[in-house]
Amino acid sequence: MQPEAVLKQFFGYDSFRDNQKPLVMRILAGQDVLGVMPTGAGKSVCYQIPALMRPGLALVISPLISLMRDQVRTLCQAGIPAACLTSAQPVEERTRILRETAQGKYKLLYVAPERLQTPSLQALCQRVRLSLIAVDEAHCVSQWGQDFRPSYLRITEFLQILPERPPVCAFTATATERVRGDIIRLLGLQDPFLLVSGFDRPNLRFFVHHPADKKSALIAELAGRREQSGIVYCLTRKLVDDVYGILHSRGFAAARYHAGLDAETRQTAQEDFLYDRKRIMVATNAFGMGIDKPNVSYVIHYNMPQDLESYYQEAGRAGRDGEMADCILYASESDVRLCRFLIENSRDLSDDLDEEARQTALQRDLDRLRKMRWYCQTTDCLRQTMLHYFGESSPSYCGGCGNCGTHWAWKDATVDAQKIVSCVFRLNQRGRTVGKRFLIEILQGQTTERVQQSGLENLSTFGIMRGESVYHIRYILDCLIAQGYLTCRAEERPIVQLSAKSGDIIKKRLPFSVKSPKGVRVVPVHLGDAVGPVDESLLKVLEQTCDRLAKRAGVPSFSIFPTTVLREMCKRMPRTVDELGDIPGVAAHKAKRYGQAFVDSISAYRRRQQGDRP
C-alpha cells in the first residue's frame, strides 16, 4: 500500500503537503529525521503514516497529558488504534493498556518522557517490536529552547536499553539553528534527514498595540468576536484571574486555565473550550501546547511574552483550520519589567546549573527578551521581523500585518533627540550612568525620591522634556538606540550610554526623524479558493449537523469535520456518500460513519431552497 493510499483512507487527503512526503519516505526507509514545521503544517501525519505502514508499535514521546489525550482522541475518530499512558490514569487502566499493547492492539502509544524510566514500559518495549520513536515538541530537549524539559535528556538512555534501535524522528514548530543542533546532539539522532519548512503562516495577521488601558481595549476587541473562539494569554496566574473576572462579569463566555488551579478545574475548562461551551480561554502559557482546536479565530496576548519563540508558538494556535485569524499583542513597558523579573527569578536558572551556566542562561534569556521587545517596537513589517528571527527572508511588505496596514509618515524629531542625547552627555560629565526609566524621570523633571537622593535636580537638562509623555520620550529614546546614536547595555538594568555616533546629534546637529503612524488602511489578503465565499446558510446547517453528531459521539465538533471541510461541502454539495468521500479531509472511516447525515442535510437544504423559488 502506498503512503498516499494510507493518507486518503485515514485522513481523507489525496496527496501530501509539500514538506510532508520527504519526511514520511525517509522514516519509512528507516532513517532518523528532524522536522521543523510551523503549527498547523501537519507534523503529526509525518510519523503517523509510517507508524501505520511499518510493522510494530510506534512510541510517541509527548510532553503534556492534554496533548496526548487530544492526539489519541483524533486518531481513534479516524479509525486508527492508539492509546496513551499518563499519570492521571488509574493503575488498573495503565495495566490494561500495557497488556493490550503487548497483544498488538495499538499501532501508536503516547507517553510522557518521564514514563520512559518506569520498569513496566521498559519491559514492554524490550518485548514488542518498535516501528519508530517519535519525539514531539523536540525543542524541549534544549536549554536554548523556550520550553526546556530536563526529562527529555533521558531519551537517549532509554534508546540504549532497547534490543533494536528503531528510527527516531523529532518534530518541533519553533527551533533556531542553535536549538536544531542541540536536538540532533542531545537525542543522538544518527545521520538525520533535516527538513526546515517555511515558518510563514499566510492566514495569520499580526498586530501590536500599545493601549493606555488594556482592560478597556480587550473588552472592546472581544465585543465584536462573541461568536468566535479565541485565547487570551496572560503572563501570570494573578493576571489570568483578574482578566477572567472582568470578562465573566461582563457576560463573556470565558474559561480560565493556569497551573494554580486543581486538575479537575483545568480539565473542565479545557473541555468547555474544546467543545465550544466557552468561547474564550484566558490562560497562562501552561495552556495550549498540542491543543488541536482548529477553529481558534484569534489569539490575544494581554502581555508581551518573554521571547519570540514562545510568542510565535502561542500565536500559531490561531487559524489552524486555514481560515483568516488575528494574532494581537498588547505591549507595555510594565510587561518588559515583569518579563525581566520572571526571567531573573526563574527556578530553571538555578536548578542543576553552576554559576557560570546560570549566568549564560540568564544572558541568553535577556537577549531573547530584547528581541521580543524590538518586535513590539518596530515599524517594519511584523511578518518579516518574525521570519527574519527564525532565519528566513521575506518581502518587506506583507500587506496583512498591523504595520503594513498602517500609513507611516516620517516625523522630524531632531530637537527631542538633541534633548535626550544632551541629557546622557551631561550625566556622563558627572560620571553618572542611569537606566531608561531613571533617564525619563530626569527628562520629565520628576522629583522622585531617587532623583532627590541623587542630587540631579540641578542638572542643566533636568526637566528639559517636561510635559512630554513617557511613551513619547521612550519611543524617541528607543529609536536613537536602534539607529546607534546611543547604546543600551543590560546589566542589573538597561544602562543608557553615549556611542560613537552621539556627536552627530549634539555636535554636528544632524537631522533625526522617526516613523509616526498616520492612519490605518484595510488591505485585503487573498488566500485563494480554499477560504472563498460559500453559502453561509448552508454552512450553518452543516455546522449544526456537526454539533449534533459530535454531541452524540462525545467529541468536539471539529473532530467530526473542521470548518474547511464543511466549506468544501457547501461548494460541491455532494449528493452521495461516495461524492462526499472525494472531498479533501473526508477519510473513508468518517465518510462511512458520518457521511449520510451530511448528505441528507444538504439534500434537505436543496429541497427547501427549491421550494422557496416562485
What mean pLDDT do residues 98-115 have? 94
Query: Quick count: other Cβ atoms within 10 Å of Cβ 447?
Result: 10
Q: Which residues contact 285 (CB under 8 A, 6 or more apart)?
A: 233, 305, 310, 314
CA distances for 460 relative to 113, 322, 464, angstroms:
61, 58, 8
Q: What is the pLDDT of residue 422?
A: 96
Query: Given a cut of 70, is residue 531 above it in pLDDT?
Result: no
Query: Quick count: other Cβ atoms within 10 Å of Cβ 367?
Result: 12
CB distance 357 to 78 below 8 Å: no
Euclidean distance between CA atoms 288 and 266, whole angstroms: 12
Q: What is the pLDDT of residue 379?
A: 85
Query: pTM of the entire structure?
Result: 0.73
Residue 465 DSSP label: T
What mean pLDDT do residues 374-401 have? 86
Q: What is the pLDDT of residue 26?
A: 95
Q: What is the pLDDT of residue 613?
A: 54
**Residue labelled with grid coordinates 468547555:** 272
Strand 33-36 relative to strand 280-283, pairing = unpaired
pLDDT 10s digits, 374-383 = 899 888 899 9
Euclidean distance between CA atoms 611 and 605, whole angstroms: 10
What mean pLDDT do residues 547-561 have? 88
Query: Given a cut of 90, is residue 410 above it in pLDDT?
Result: no
Determine the 3-state secondary structure of 206 from DSSP: strand
What mean pLDDT do residues 451-478 have? 89
What mean pLDDT do residues 94-114 have? 94
Determine the 3-state secondary structure of 100 from DSSP: helix
Share of the chain above pLDDT 90, in %: 51
Query: Given a cut of 70, is residue 522 above it in pLDDT?
Result: no
Query: Given a cut of 70, is residue 136 above it in pLDDT?
Result: yes
pLDDT 10s digits, 213-248 = 999 999 999 998 988 999 999 999 999 999 999 999
Q: Which three cell numbers stand for residue 78?
A: 479516524
Euclidean distance between CA atoms 94 and 85, whole angstroms: 6
Which domains, from first to last, does the chain contain? 3-196 (3.40.50.300), 204-405 (3.40.50.300), 409-519 (1.10.10.10), 529-612 (1.10.150.80)
Query: By C-alpha distance, which of 66, 307, 65 is closest to 174?
Result: 307
Query: Given a cut of 50, is residue 386 above it in pLDDT?
Result: yes
pLDDT 10s digits, 28-67 = 999 999 999 877 778 899 999 999 999 999 999 988 777 7
CA distances for 389 relative to 149, 200, 281, angstroms:
23, 12, 28
Using the Cα atoms of residue 559, residue 563, residue 564 and residue 565 in order, give the sign of their dihedral: positive
pLDDT 10s digits, 194-203 = 998 877 888 8
How far does Cα 204 stand from its chain's mean position? 11
Euclidean distance between CA atoms 203 and 526, whole angstroms: 9
Query: Given a cut of 80, is residue 175 above it in pLDDT?
Result: no
Q: What is the pLDDT of residue 612?
A: 61
pLDDT 10s digits, 565-584 = 999 999 999 999 999 999 98
Strand 406-412 relative to strand 513-520, pairing = antiparallel
Determine the 3-state secondary structure of 132 from DSSP: strand
Tell me the chain's radius of gyration from C-alpha atoms: 27
Q: What is the pLDDT of residue 526?
A: 41
Q: What is the pLDDT of residue 164?
A: 93
Burial of 141 (0-12, 13-18, 19+ CB in 10 A): buried
Give the bridge partners for 329, in sequence order. Answer: 208, 301
Who has greater pLDDT, 392 or 422?
422
Q: What is the pLDDT of residue 350?
A: 46
Q: What is the pLDDT of residue 289?
A: 67
Using the Cα atoms of residue 205, residue 206, residue 212 and residue 215 in order, give the sign of their dihedral: positive
Amino acid at 340: R
Who has greater pLDDT, 566 or 144?
566
Q: What is the pLDDT of residue 37?
A: 86
Strand 193-196 relative to strand 33-36, pairing = parallel
Q: What is the pLDDT of residue 278?
A: 94
Q: Which three cell numbers stand for residue 173?
A: 514548530
Q: Residue 528's pLDDT band (boundaries 50, 70, 90)? A: very low
Q: Which residues contact 49 (CB under 8 A, 6 or more apart)?
A: 3, 6, 7, 24
What mean pLDDT do residues 359-365 have? 81
Helix (H) or strand (E) holding 227: none
Q: What is the pLDDT of residue 541?
A: 94
**Phi then psi dihedrals of residue 84, to 5 deg:** -135, 155
Q: What is the pLDDT of residue 527?
A: 41
Angle, CA 298 vertex, CA 272 and CA 42 arms, to 5°: 85
Give the bridge partners for 36, in sequence order. Answer: 172, 196
**Which segments of 316-413 does DSSP mark as H helices, in order?**
333-344, 355-377, 382-389
Average pLDDT over all residues of the chain: 87
Burial of 134 (0-12, 13-18, 19+ CB in 10 A): buried
Q: Which three cell numbers stand for residue 157?
A: 538512555
**Residue labelled with grid coordinates 465518510:** 591
CA distances for 276 relative to 6, 140, 606, angstroms:
31, 30, 28
CB distance 46 to 35 below 8 Å: yes
Determine the 3-state secondary structure of 496 from DSSP: strand
Query: Given a cut of 80, is residue 498 above it in pLDDT?
Result: yes
Euclidean distance between CA atoms 174 and 142, whole angstroms: 12
Q: Residue 445's pLDDT band (boundaries 50, 70, 90)? A: very high
Q: What is the pLDDT of residue 352?
A: 54
Query: Given a cut of 80, is residue 335 above it in pLDDT?
Result: yes
